[in-house]
Amino acid sequence: MSILKKQKLFIYDHVNSRELSESYLSEPKNTGQFFILLELAKEKTDYQNIIDQITSELSLYFENSQNDDPESLLEEILQLLNQLLPTLAPQKNRLWFQKINLVVGILHSNSVYLAGIGNIDAWLLNHNQFTQILDKTTDINPAKIFTDITSGSLDSGDVLVISTNALFDYVSKEKIRLLTQKYSPQAAVDQLYKLLETVPDFVSFNSLFIKNPSSNEIDLKNPIADEELAPKIAPSIAPNATQAPRQDAGLKNVTKAQTPNKKAHAPKTKLVFDKRGLQNIKLVRQVLWLWSLITTFFGIVAQICQTIFAYLKKTYLFLFSHKFRRQSEDTILANTKQTIHKKTTWFSNLTWRKKILIVALLIVVLIFLQGLVFLTQKKAVVKQENTYQQSIDSINTTLNEVEASLIYKDEKRAEELLLEVQTALANLQVQSNEQATEVTTVKEQAARLINKIRHINYVDNPMELFDLSTLAGSKQIVQKDGKFYLLDQNSLYLLQDSAPVKLTDFANGQTLADWPGQSKLILSNNEQYSIFNLDNKQFESFDFNKASGNTQVQDLNIYSNNLYALDSQNNKIFKYPESGTSFSNGVNWLTAEADLSQAYSFAIDGDAYLTFQNGEIKKLRKGKVEKFDYHVPHPVIGQKSIIKTFKESKLLYLIDPDNQRVIIFDKNGNIKDQYTSPKFDNLVDLAIDPAEKAIYLLNGNHLYLLAINE
């Protein structure tokens, strides 16, 4: 049971009020009295049913609880609230309880236990001073809405006022202090009703006054006797009404504002402009929010400008004013000297015992710091060693996976794993010579495996067949019937007896192609295609016109006696069908759209294989791009790579000048071999031995022979 006196101040017009409000005070029982103060701004969503359910469930839980400890019981009620509030949320507003103002509590003996969220005040009047004991909470965690309980006992004469903000807007704290000290809660509330008579109907008041009674307080016999208060207290109840007061489901003795028996007058209202009411208008709220943002923005800009101006001014004066520099130096020196003087004077004035203690303390601190540094370093070393060991173990596990992939001939997966190993080794930090030796061993193992997977062969000194330093410009080479023919910018040559022999002049030579089955070569420059007869060493008439739009030749090939020309400038491949000893007019061979603007070289064996400036290889079949899932080498193929093959070959031969290598693929895209040499520093073109036993590499002014592995 509670020995405290309490009285509610509840003025609420449910029609005109701008808020939804509820006040509940239970009947006394052994556990005390349970109370609820709740307020929520009216919105489009009707929250009244939710408020009624909250009040009903909490009061019912209190009435039925067997817990005799009021603080423990309040914790159970708060736990129920934490679970209940999120589930009551409307479908479109899951965080509706962020705007609720709610206080729940229990009065027991002379003690009060309460908890709240939102903007509800709780003030303790003790020794003529008001102290706020309940923090306002606006940032609510949905996972745990109520977190703390405020509790304490009231001494004789102490007053606790729990109220929404409206009461303190219309009545000063000093007036409330005088009334609550002089009168009992019932009498004080009666006086407040009289003070609030002329307040507009849209303002609601929801307060609870709790007092530990004193011997000198005044307690009126009929606190609510003025008939003029009746409309203010319950404006919705008609005079001499016979209906029973509303009882919420599950509630017992819900205390509502009292209705006097006397005849009630009409509500006393007056025209009042309440500027706070404008905040309920959405447009006004948005304008005020925007204005606050603009004000904040320009305030920050002004502060930044002031700071920048101050620094610029100091910089300017420092650079150009000798007087300012001198003053700054003098100020710094003076402050430094003053600080040093204060410290030395302070230390000098100490007794010798204090001096010894300070010095000893400094030594102890230094020793402690040194020990701390040592322990930190030791922990760091242990951590680094553990990290290193974990990394080495992970690398060894990955190497075992590489071996397993090689057993199943999955070279792509093995290469991916080895690249991960190399990255891990590059990032591994070694702390000792033993670790460095171990890492070097693992790197060598990884390098051997990756070279094995990539089929890389190092050629220190490739065999040189011809020295071509006397020829001019870029060159193209063809092997035909065991002889080599070479085109530079000015002439066509036959390579024999270790020296080039000029066959004919051909200005601005660009491409050179063999005509299989014919003793002829196809040459091109910027203006024409030409057929050169190797038997009579003469050009034959080439009586045909280029296809419409075929203005540039990037590469030439002949397949099944048809001439194919790659025109990357016009994004086309043109086909010139055989016509007797020559070719007829060309047509576009592509039957589907394909981006060939970066194509550099191509080879035909029925399908067409093209290399691109970005290192990509594409396959065309019957004029359409077909998927070619080739093994992408590492590093990726560079620019100006040249590809060659022929009908009977099962391989693709490619030179990669940027990476000084030759790559041999099978026609499924698997890497058969790679060859690299420091002398492959200017790869220009290649020719293939018909028996595919060797490759002839044109490297700058040198023609090298490169044997092919079986």
**pLDDT of amino acid 304:** 93
| Angstrom distance (rounded) from CA 289 to CA 297 | 12
How many Å is the Cα radius of gyration of the chain? 48
| Angstrom distance (rounded) from CA 140 to CA 299 | 29
Same domain, 501 and 424: no
**Boundary-marking domain end, from 206, 233, 260:** 233
> Is 312 a domain residue?
no
235 class by beta-carbon count within 10 Å (0-12 exposed, 13-18 middle, 19+ buried): buried
> Is 188 a domain residue?
yes
Same domain, 38 and 144: yes
CA nearest neighbour of 621 among 590, 584, 652: 590
Kindly list the distances between the CA atom of residue 358 and the CA atoms of 160, 344, 350, 634, in Å, as whole numbers in the listed order: 52, 13, 10, 67
The token pair at 595 is 């981006």
> Is 664 a domain residue?
yes
Same domain, 486 and 547: yes
> Is 187 a domain residue?
yes
What's 393's domain CATH number?
Answer: 1.20.58
Please list the residues that pair with 698 across neighbouring strands: 685, 703
CA nearest neighbour of 43 among 289, 290, 288, 285: 285
> Is 279 a domain residue?
no
Same domain, 409 and 476: no
Same domain, 361 and 502: no
**Boundary-marking domain end, from 435, 454, 473:** 454
**Using omega within 30 degrees of 0 as the cis cutoff, is the peptide bond preceding 635 cis?**
yes
**pLDDT of amino acid 10:** 92
310-330: b (≥16 Cβ within 10 Å) or e: eeeeeeeeeeeeeeeeeeeee
Q: How many other CB atoms are found less than 10 A from the CB of residue 400?
A: 11
**pLDDT of amino acid 548:** 60
**Boundary-marking domain end, from 233, 256, 289:** 233
| Angstrom distance (rounded) from CA 666 to CA 409 | 15
The token pair at 153 is 């006992």
**pLDDT of amino acid 260:** 37
Same domain, 193 and 77: yes
The residue behind tokens 């606790």 is 160
> Is 98 a domain residue?
yes
Same domain, 468 and 442: no
What's 202's domain CATH number?
Answer: 3.60.40.10
Helix (H) or strand (E) holding 19: strand 19-25
> Is 517 a domain residue?
yes
CB 24 within 8 A of CB 62: no
Same domain, 371 and 520: no
Indicate the length of the chain as a whole number: 710
Q: How many other CB atoms are found less than 10 A from the CB of residue 291?
A: 10
Same domain, 496 and 576: yes
Same domain, 184 and 123: yes
Q: How many other CB atoms are found less than 10 A from the CB of residue 536?
A: 9
Same domain, 672 and 607: yes
Range of the domain at 448: 355-454
**Number of domains the chain contains:** 3
Tens-place pLDDT, residues 428-479: 888 888 888 888 888 888 888 888 788 888 888 899 888 888 887 668 899 8
Same domain, 94 and 36: yes
| One-letter identity of residue 351 | T
| Angstrom distance (rounded) from CA 608 to CA 591 | 13
> Is 214 a domain residue?
yes
- State which residues of the chain have pLDDT below 70: 1, 44-45, 89-97, 138-139, 143, 220-280, 473-474, 498, 541-549
What's 495's domain CATH number?
Answer: 2.130.10.10
Tens-place pLDDT, residues 356-375: 998 999 999 999 999 899 88
